[in-house]
Chain A
Amino acid sequence: AQSVTQLGSHVSVSEGALVLLRCNYSSSVPPYLFWYVQYPNQGLQLLLKYTSAATLVKGINGFEAEFKKSETSFHLTKPSAHMSDAAEYFCAVSDGSSNTGKLIFGQGTTLQVKP
Protein backbone atom coordinates (compact mmCIF):
# COMPACT_ATOMS: atom_id res chain seq x y z
CA ALA A 1 0.00 0.00 0.00
CA GLN A 2 1.10 3.51 -0.68
CA SER A 3 2.16 5.82 2.12
CA VAL A 4 3.72 9.25 2.55
CA THR A 5 5.99 10.59 5.26
CA GLN A 6 6.78 14.27 5.64
CA LEU A 7 9.85 14.82 7.75
CA GLY A 8 9.32 17.69 10.15
CA SER A 9 5.90 18.98 11.13
CA HIS A 10 7.27 22.52 11.44
CA VAL A 11 10.00 24.21 9.42
CA SER A 12 11.19 27.74 10.07
CA VAL A 13 13.32 29.75 7.65
CA SER A 14 14.34 33.36 7.30
CA GLU A 15 13.01 35.44 4.46
CA GLY A 16 15.30 34.97 1.48
CA ALA A 17 16.63 31.62 2.67
CA LEU A 18 16.28 28.27 0.94
CA VAL A 19 13.09 26.36 1.60
CA LEU A 20 13.38 22.56 1.77
CA LEU A 21 10.36 20.47 2.72
CA ARG A 22 10.98 16.75 2.79
CA CYS A 23 8.68 14.02 1.53
CA ASN A 24 9.32 10.30 1.25
CA TYR A 25 6.83 7.90 -0.23
CA SER A 26 6.23 4.22 -0.37
CA SER A 27 4.61 2.80 -3.44
CA SER A 28 4.52 -0.58 -5.10
CA VAL A 29 3.78 0.98 -8.48
CA PRO A 30 5.16 4.01 -10.32
CA PRO A 31 3.65 6.84 -8.34
CA TYR A 32 1.85 10.03 -9.11
CA LEU A 33 3.11 12.57 -6.56
CA PHE A 34 1.76 15.95 -5.55
CA TRP A 35 2.53 18.92 -3.39
CA TYR A 36 -0.36 21.05 -2.13
CA VAL A 37 -0.32 24.28 -0.16
CA GLN A 38 -2.98 25.35 2.30
CA TYR A 39 -3.23 28.89 3.62
CA PRO A 40 -5.07 29.46 6.91
CA ASN A 41 -8.77 28.69 6.70
CA GLN A 42 -8.57 27.96 2.99
CA GLY A 43 -8.70 24.93 0.75
CA LEU A 44 -5.85 23.11 -0.93
CA GLN A 45 -4.04 24.57 -3.89
CA LEU A 46 -1.94 22.40 -6.16
CA LEU A 47 1.69 23.52 -6.25
CA LEU A 48 3.00 20.85 -8.60
CA LYS A 49 2.65 17.23 -9.61
CA TYR A 50 4.89 14.45 -10.85
CA THR A 51 3.42 12.13 -13.45
CA SER A 52 6.56 10.38 -14.73
CA ALA A 53 7.30 12.87 -17.51
CA ALA A 54 10.30 14.67 -15.99
CA THR A 55 12.03 14.08 -12.67
CA LEU A 56 12.40 17.81 -11.93
CA VAL A 57 8.98 19.37 -11.70
CA LYS A 58 8.43 23.11 -11.63
CA GLY A 59 5.35 24.49 -9.97
CA ILE A 60 3.74 27.76 -9.11
CA ASN A 61 5.18 30.50 -6.90
CA GLY A 62 8.77 29.49 -7.65
CA PHE A 63 8.55 26.03 -6.08
CA GLU A 64 9.99 22.90 -7.60
CA ALA A 65 10.40 19.27 -6.59
CA GLU A 66 12.67 16.49 -7.74
CA PHE A 67 11.56 12.89 -7.99
CA LYS A 68 14.30 10.52 -6.88
CA LYS A 69 13.27 6.93 -7.33
CA SER A 70 16.40 5.53 -5.66
CA GLU A 71 15.65 7.52 -2.52
CA THR A 72 11.83 7.28 -2.83
CA SER A 73 11.77 11.02 -2.24
CA PHE A 74 9.95 14.02 -3.65
CA HIS A 75 11.31 16.98 -1.72
CA LEU A 76 9.94 20.48 -2.30
CA THR A 77 12.32 23.40 -2.65
CA LYS A 78 12.31 27.12 -3.27
CA PRO A 79 15.56 29.09 -3.57
CA SER A 80 14.38 32.15 -1.68
CA ALA A 81 11.56 32.21 0.85
CA HIS A 82 9.02 34.98 0.88
CA MET A 83 6.77 35.97 3.74
CA SER A 84 3.76 34.95 1.66
CA ASP A 85 5.05 31.36 1.56
CA ALA A 86 4.06 30.83 5.19
CA ALA A 87 1.45 28.09 5.05
CA GLU A 88 0.93 24.38 5.52
CA TYR A 89 2.28 22.08 2.84
CA PHE A 90 1.09 18.59 2.06
CA CYS A 91 2.78 15.89 0.02
CA ALA A 92 0.48 13.27 -1.46
CA VAL A 93 0.73 10.11 -3.55
CA SER A 94 -1.97 8.65 -5.72
CA ASP A 95 -3.43 5.47 -4.27
CA GLY A 96 -2.89 3.12 -7.13
CA SER A 97 -1.13 3.01 -10.43
CA SER A 98 -2.92 5.99 -11.88
CA ASN A 99 -3.99 9.43 -10.77
CA THR A 100 -7.59 8.74 -9.84
CA GLY A 101 -8.15 11.35 -7.16
CA LYS A 102 -7.75 8.82 -4.36
CA LEU A 103 -4.79 10.36 -2.60
CA ILE A 104 -2.72 9.36 0.38
CA PHE A 105 -1.54 12.49 2.19
CA GLY A 106 1.37 13.12 4.47
CA GLN A 107 0.70 14.70 7.83
CA GLY A 108 1.68 18.15 6.61
CA THR A 109 4.53 20.58 7.27
CA THR A 110 3.91 24.07 8.55
CA LEU A 111 6.34 26.56 7.04
CA GLN A 112 7.14 29.64 9.09
CA VAL A 113 9.00 32.49 7.40
CA LYS A 114 10.77 34.92 9.69
CA PRO A 115 11.52 38.49 8.61
Chain B
Amino acid sequence: NAGVTQTPKFQVLKTGQSMTLQCAQDMNHNSMYWYRQDPGMGLRLIYYSASEGTTDKGEVPNGYNVSRLNKREFSLRLESAAPSQTSVYFCASIQRSGNTIYFGEGSWLTVV
Protein backbone atom coordinates (compact mmCIF):
# COMPACT_ATOMS: atom_id res chain seq x y z
CA ASN B 1 0.00 0.00 0.00
CA ALA B 2 1.33 3.42 -0.95
CA GLY B 3 -0.64 5.23 1.77
CA VAL B 4 -0.10 9.00 1.55
CA THR B 5 2.24 10.08 -1.23
CA GLN B 6 3.73 13.55 -1.51
CA THR B 7 5.66 15.10 -4.38
CA PRO B 8 8.19 16.56 -4.71
CA LYS B 9 10.29 15.39 -1.78
CA PHE B 10 12.81 18.20 -2.15
CA GLN B 11 12.50 21.61 -3.83
CA VAL B 12 14.47 24.83 -3.89
CA LEU B 13 12.64 27.96 -4.96
CA LYS B 14 13.62 31.55 -5.48
CA THR B 15 11.68 34.24 -3.66
CA GLY B 16 8.59 35.11 -5.66
CA GLN B 17 8.37 31.84 -7.55
CA SER B 18 5.28 29.70 -7.35
CA MET B 19 4.91 25.98 -6.92
CA THR B 20 2.42 23.30 -6.00
CA LEU B 21 2.93 20.44 -3.58
CA GLN B 22 0.96 17.39 -4.53
CA CYS B 23 -0.58 14.88 -2.15
CA ALA B 24 -2.48 11.73 -2.95
CA GLN B 25 -3.86 8.98 -0.76
CA ASP B 26 -5.06 5.57 -1.88
CA MET B 27 -7.00 4.64 1.28
CA ASN B 28 -10.33 6.19 0.29
CA HIS B 29 -10.05 8.67 3.15
CA ASN B 30 -12.52 11.50 3.48
CA SER B 31 -10.38 14.13 5.18
CA MET B 32 -6.98 15.46 4.20
CA TYR B 33 -4.61 17.95 5.80
CA TRP B 34 -1.50 20.01 5.14
CA TYR B 35 0.92 20.74 7.99
CA ARG B 36 4.23 22.54 8.10
CA GLN B 37 7.05 21.65 10.45
CA ASP B 38 9.53 24.20 11.71
CA PRO B 39 12.35 23.66 14.23
CA GLY B 40 11.19 24.02 17.82
CA MET B 41 7.55 24.52 16.81
CA GLY B 42 6.26 21.07 16.06
CA LEU B 43 3.74 20.78 13.23
CA ARG B 44 1.15 23.43 12.51
CA LEU B 45 -1.97 23.01 10.42
CA ILE B 46 -2.07 25.10 7.24
CA TYR B 47 -5.31 23.98 5.55
CA TYR B 48 -7.56 20.98 5.64
CA SER B 49 -10.33 19.39 3.68
CA ALA B 50 -12.94 17.61 5.77
CA SER B 51 -14.50 16.05 2.69
CA GLU B 52 -14.32 16.22 -1.08
CA GLY B 53 -15.34 19.68 -2.24
CA THR B 54 -14.60 21.49 1.01
CA THR B 55 -11.52 23.27 2.31
CA ASP B 56 -10.89 25.29 5.47
CA LYS B 57 -8.10 27.34 6.96
CA GLY B 58 -5.97 25.99 9.74
CA GLU B 59 -3.64 27.79 12.11
CA VAL B 60 -1.19 29.24 9.54
CA PRO B 61 -2.94 29.66 6.14
CA ASN B 62 -1.40 32.95 4.98
CA GLY B 63 0.56 32.67 1.74
CA TYR B 64 -1.00 29.34 0.75
CA ASN B 65 -3.90 28.06 -1.28
CA VAL B 66 -5.27 24.54 -1.55
CA SER B 67 -7.35 22.49 -3.92
CA ARG B 68 -9.17 19.26 -3.16
CA LEU B 69 -9.06 18.00 -6.70
CA ASN B 70 -10.98 14.81 -5.95
CA LYS B 71 -11.27 12.41 -3.06
CA ARG B 72 -7.70 11.17 -3.54
CA GLU B 73 -5.79 14.39 -4.11
CA PHE B 74 -5.19 17.53 -2.07
CA SER B 75 -2.66 20.06 -3.37
CA LEU B 76 -0.97 22.99 -1.62
CA ARG B 77 0.08 26.00 -3.67
CA LEU B 78 2.52 28.76 -2.88
CA GLU B 79 1.69 31.63 -5.22
CA SER B 80 4.70 33.80 -4.38
CA ALA B 81 7.21 31.97 -2.23
CA ALA B 82 8.91 33.76 0.65
CA PRO B 83 11.91 32.69 2.74
CA SER B 84 9.54 32.35 5.72
CA GLN B 85 7.92 29.45 3.89
CA THR B 86 11.11 27.41 4.07
CA SER B 87 9.86 24.37 5.95
CA VAL B 88 9.03 20.71 5.81
CA TYR B 89 5.48 20.11 4.63
CA PHE B 90 3.44 17.08 5.57
CA CYS B 91 0.22 15.86 4.10
CA ALA B 92 -2.07 13.66 6.20
CA SER B 93 -5.38 11.88 5.82
CA ILE B 94 -8.01 10.14 7.92
CA GLN B 95 -11.01 8.04 7.01
CA ARG B 96 -13.34 9.54 9.57
CA SER B 97 -13.33 10.80 13.10
CA GLY B 98 -11.76 8.35 15.52
CA ASN B 99 -9.63 6.54 12.99
CA THR B 100 -5.85 6.57 12.65
CA ILE B 101 -4.29 9.59 10.96
CA TYR B 102 -1.75 8.76 8.29
CA PHE B 103 1.10 11.09 7.33
CA GLY B 104 3.10 11.32 4.14
CA GLU B 105 6.88 11.25 4.08
CA GLY B 106 7.22 15.03 3.89
CA SER B 107 8.36 17.60 1.34
CA TRP B 108 11.44 19.67 2.12
CA LEU B 109 11.07 23.17 0.67
CA THR B 110 13.77 25.84 0.71
CA VAL B 111 13.07 29.38 -0.47
CA VAL B 112 16.17 31.46 -1.18
A25 proximal to B (CB < 8 A): no
Interface size range of chain B in the complex: 20 to 34
Interface size range of chain A in the complex: 20 to 34
Instruction: Using A98-B97, A101-B92, A108-B40 as known contacts, say yes or no to A43 and B105 having CB atoms under 8 A apart.
Output: yes
CB distance from A99 to the nearest CB of B (A): 5
Contact at A107–B40, with CB atoms within 8 Å? yes
Residues of A with C-beta under 8 A to B94: 99-101
Contact at B100–A49, with CB atoms within 8 Å? yes
Instruction: Using A43-B103, A43-B105, A44-B103 as known contacts, say yes or no to A100 and B43 having CB atoms under 8 A apart.
Output: no
Residues of A with C-beta under 8 A to B98: 51, 98-99
A108–B37 alpha-carbon span in the complex (Å): 10
Contact at A105–B43, with CB atoms within 8 Å? yes
A14 proximal to B (CB < 8 A): no
Excluding A34-B101, A106-B42, A108-B40, 9 further A-B contacts by CB distance (< 8 Å) are A41-B106, A42-B106, A44-B43, A98-B97, A99-B101, A101-B92, A101-B94, A102-B33, A103-B101
A103–B106 alpha-carbon span in the complex (Å): 16
Chain A: CB-nearest residue to B10:
A41
